[in-house]
Amino acid sequence: MKHIVKSWDDYQKIYQYSVEQPQAFWADIASEFQWKKSWDKVLEWNFSEPNVKWFQGGQLNITENCLDRHLESRGDQVAIIWEPNDPKDQEIKLTYKELHQKVSQFANVLKKQGVQKGDRVCLYMPMIPELAIAVLACARIGAVHSVVFAGFSANALADRINDAEAKLVITADGSFRGAKTIALKDITDDALSHTPCVETVIVVERTKQVCQMQEGRDYWWHEEVASVDADCPAETMDSEDMLFILYTSGSTGKPKGVVHTTAGYMVYTYYTFMNVFQYQEGDVYWCSADIGWITGHSYIIYGPLLAGATTVMSEGIPTWPDAGRYWATCDKYKVNQFYTAPTAIRALMAKGLEYVAPYRLDALKVIGSVGEPINEEAWEWYHKYIGKSQCPIVDTWWQTETGGMMISPIPNVTPLKPTFATLPLPGIQPCLVTQEGKEIEENGVEGLLCVKYPWPSMIRTTYGNHERCKQVYFSMFEGKYFTGDGCRRDEDGLYRIIGRVDDVINVSGHRLGTAEVENAINEHDAVVESAVIGYPHEIKGQGIFAFVIVNDEISEQKLQKELKELVVKEIGPIAKPDRLAIVSGLPKTRSGKIMRRILRKIASGEADQLGDLSTLLDPSIVEEIKSLV
């Protein structure tokens, strides 16, 4: 395996090589895979259009590299361990051979239903093995998967189905989440009343709850797989053929479909998985994310399977049946690398050590964090009580758009510093720029985080709207990819992500646009205008605060209830405001722009540091809001 970093000396040499000869560097790694035809050109790029192409001329199928490639050497090794919601239920272990067979079989179901290369398939599913199988089955036949997190509402699902023009949807009768069940098929049916593009629905039986099956449109998974054989040759894909779309929130408008393509994504997720987790043959690795997010795509499915790892996938939630569930699961499977989000760590930390004490965690070698800034207290607790002060914490900074981890410690090699994602991984060239776009060379500074050279798994486009991709990421600072994050670089050159500088908020590691939540709130008849901001929240990282102006005599209690319900209906429970205040006006500039900065300061308890208010139209509003909050 080339360019795996094992020492500080390695890191320096490999990093330098990756910057000086990026094409040779990535070609070295790419050559470890099975190609149907090798590439002609490693990289072609410009960031102004943007146009980025990796491994052009190459042909491959990512599932041959995730599955077929391992059959001879580790066909009987467990590929996926599935831990059910209820710990009393039986886990499922699928070997590489079995997974290969199930993927091929379901790929044949998709084909039988008329799905062809390039068609989009939407997956709205619980965390069950069929989700991983369906993702890979799409890739097997060259269909583009669009996984929608199963916590999103019918409206949010319909928007995503329509934007991608998916012709087939895969869902389940219901899903288990702790003590609750969610009627996924009913939600899907609601969505499907607004999605003319969908021809077929395949339904996995999970909860066995009653649901409607529409004749000629809806089919049961188990009946369909019984009618096809388990041999499905992998479709030949060009390196730059689309692999998947994943919707994510931005500062304006509806969520956008981030597009990832085949070869670059494969090379990058594999390489970063190996480096950041220092995965060794036989290790058991667990990422607790949901496959509905990029973390699950890259580091439950693709990265680990490309590496021939054993990857755990869990259906449940961290606090059910009790707050020891993560640690019980780590103990049960002797997990060696564990990867989770700061929100989960903070929530479990708050429950107390009695939930950690009963379990043996001594198989752990590396523990990871992703999705949001990890505060120092949570870092220390994770390090001391979960890692027993023996396991390096990899605080990995990356994004849906980056496809894979970008800035992260490499365990036992590069330095650790609580709350710092530390150093760029080989091949990644981050930089900090000023508001004016000037690159800041020195250390001990803060700036806007950009990346100035392409990496294989970077966003290629936003589905159906290339201009939007260009505007959002490549127009702010010429020749650079702009991340949307503010960042500090300390005296030693270590990076610490401060948080978003745009109107994106990060609630429990879930990314939401404030405009999306405002649009939902504005649907209410009594609402004239609203402004939504994120404020510091002890467990969730950021909470959602909505300031609303209403036109009617409506009781505050009723409005609170109805607005929360409305947001849940429009987006999903993850977007439900934590706090709502009815105000008579919003702080605006003379040109009518809402000064969210002022609302953020007030909601963060920093009302004494409002900064320059000279452009503010009506200062009395600020006083009113201060007294309300």
Closest to ligand PRX by CB, 498 vs 629, is: 498
Does 370 help bind ligand PRX (rule: CB under 6 A)? Answer: yes
Token pair of 70 as six digits: 């391992």
Closest to ligand PRX by CB, 155 vs 396, is: 396
Measured CA to CA, the distance from residue 162 to residue 156 in angstroms comes to: 10
| b/e code 359-370 from CB counts within 10 Å (16+ = b) | bebeebbbbbbb
Taking alpha carbons only, the member of 373, 52, 401 closest to residue 249 is 401
Q: How many CA atoms lie less than 13 Å away from 409 in the CB half-sphere?
A: 22
- State the minimum distance, in angstroms, from the CB of residue 143 to ligand PRX: 23
Taking alpha carbons only, the member of 422, 428, 451 closest to residue 439 is 451
C-alpha to C-alpha distances, 296 to 149, 413, 618, nearest whole angstrom: 10, 26, 46
Q: Which of 218, 372, 503, 516 binds ligand PRX (CB under 6 A)?
A: 372
How do strand 337-340 and strand 366-370 relate by DSSP bridges? parallel
Per-residue interface string for the shown chain with ligand PRX, residues 293-322, x marking contact by CB under 6 A: -xx---------------------------
- State the minimum distance, in angstroms, from the CB of residue 77 to ligand PRX: 28
DSSP letter string over 165-202?
A: T-SEEEEES-EEETTEEE-HHHHHHHHHTT-TT--EEE
Region near ligand PRX per CB under 6 A, out of 102-110, 140-148, 366-374, 573-581 = 366-374
In contact, 54 and 456? CB cutoff 8 Å:
yes
Region near ligand PRX per CB under 6 A, out of 2-10, 317-325, 473-481, 497-505 = 497-505
Number of residues this chain uses to bind ligand PRX (CB under 6 A): 22
Does 484 help bind ligand PRX (rule: CB under 6 A)? Answer: yes
Q: Which of 95, 239, 399, 508 binds ligand PRX (CB under 6 A)?
A: 399
Closest to ligand PRX by CB, 397 vs 547, is: 397
In contact, 385 and 348? CB cutoff 8 Å:
no
Per-residue interface string for the shown chain with ligand PRX, residues 180-219, x marking contact by CB under 6 A: ----------------------------------------
In contact, 219 and 362? CB cutoff 8 Å:
no
Does 540 help bind ligand PRX (rule: CB under 6 A)? Answer: no
Region near ligand PRX per CB under 6 A, out of 77-85, 370-378, 512-520, 592-600 = 370-378
Q: Which of 218, 235, 241, 485 binds ligand PRX (CB under 6 A)?
A: 485
Q: Which of 271, 397, 455, 545 binds ligand PRX (CB under 6 A)?
A: 397
| b/e code 253-263 from CB counts within 10 Å (16+ = b) | ebbbbbbbbbb
CB contact set of 580 (below 8 Å; sequence gap of 6+): 545, 546, 547, 548, 559, 560, 563, 564
In contact, 45 and 429? CB cutoff 8 Å:
no
Q: Which of 506, 508, 542, 560 binds ligand PRX (CB under 6 A)?
A: 506
Closest to ligand PRX by CB, 173 vs 372, is: 372
Does 500 help bind ligand PRX (rule: CB under 6 A)? Answer: yes
Q: Which of 131, 421, 532, 621 binds ligand PRX (CB under 6 A)?
A: 421
- State the minimum distance, in angstroms, from the CB of residue 480 to ligand PRX: 15
DSSP letter string over 594-622?
A: B-HHHHHHHHTT-TT-----TTBS-HHHH
- State the minimum distance, in angstroms, from the CB of residue 295 to ligand PRX: 5
Does 400 help bind ligand PRX (rule: CB under 6 A)? Answer: yes
Per-residue interface string for the shown chain with ligand PRX, residues 221-260, x marking contact by CB under 6 A: ---------------------------x------------
Does 396 help bind ligand PRX (rule: CB under 6 A)? Answer: yes
Measured CA to CA, the distance from residue 262 to residue 244 in angstroms comes to: 8
Measured CA to CA, the distance from residue 316 to residue 177 in angstroms comes to: 6
Longest dimension (CA), the chain: 73
Residues that bind ligand PRX (CB under 6 A): 248, 294-295, 370-373, 395-400, 421, 483-485, 497, 499-500, 506, 511
